[in-house]
Amino acid sequence: SKLQSEVAEAVRRLGYECEEEVKDPVSGYSIDLLIKPTGPSHRRGVALEVDGPSHFLKDSKEPVGGTILKRRLLRQLGYQTVSVPYFAWAGQDDKEAFLRRLLHRKARA
């Protein structure tokens, strides 16, 4: 999606190595952006999910069950998880600073 491409470009500008649409071999889930591990505590890296409107209940900021399950399973498989909701991304003037805050603890630990 256009939103996912925008987020991927911003992640790369911050200096992270990432791949788009990576299929997890165990769960079969497609990970929107997989940020390569940079430290010893990250077995699989950071699974960054760009969550559009279909990931949330109608007229709500609450994620739907499938989105909650995917996040939980990815964490159990050893990924750090980060969500970029469409409504949060749209409201940011400085999108790179927003991503830096989200990724700071997850991708550099």
pLDDT tens for 77-99 read 999 999 999 999 988 889 999 99
The pLDDT confidence band at residue 109, using thresholds 50, 70 and 90, is very low
Please state the domain extents for the chain.
Answer: 2-108
Cβ(71)–Cβ(44) below 8 Å:
no
Which neighbouring-strand residues pair with 23? Answer: 30
pTM score, two decimals?
Answer: 0.87
Which residue shows structure tokens 């505590």? Answer: 41
107 burial (CB, 10 Å; 0-12 / 13-18 / 19+) is buried
The dihedral built from the CA positions of residue 9, 100, 95 and 29, taken in this order, carries a sign that is: positive
| Domain 2-108 is found in CATH 3.40.960.10 | yes
The pLDDT confidence band at residue 8, using thresholds 50, 70 and 90, is very high
